[in-house]
Amino acid sequence: MEKEVTAQEIDDIVNMLDSFIDRDVSRFKVTTSDSVAPGQVREVYHHGRCDVGSPWAKGCSFDVIE
């Protein structure tokens, strides 16, 4: 059964995307989840475009001279 999308829900998504642009966010990924309350937004920041899960992002880089 498909849920009918309201004009307000579309406006909410457009406003969310506009807020990213207003903050000069160059990349973002939008996902939906049943574990987040309706209307709630959760943001996760990472340290660059290629750093997610890397040793550098975790603070244990292997190629830095100590």
Rounded to the nearest integer, the mean pLDDT of the chain is 78
* Residues 30-61 pLDDT 10s: 888 888 888 787 877 765 556 666 666 666 76
pLDDT of 52 reads 62
Q: SS3 of 27, please? A: coil
pLDDT of 13 reads 87
Task: Tell me the CA distances in angstroms from 54 to 36, 40, 62, one per residue in order.
Answer: 27, 29, 10
What pTM did the predictor assign?
0.52
| Alpha-carbon span 53 to 39, nearest angstrom | 28
- C-alpha closest to that of 38 among 13, 1, 7: 13
Query: Which tops the pLDDT comparison, 9 or 50?
Result: 9
Question: Hey, CA dihedral for 45, 49, 55, 61, is it positive or negative?
Answer: negative
pLDDT of 51 reads 60
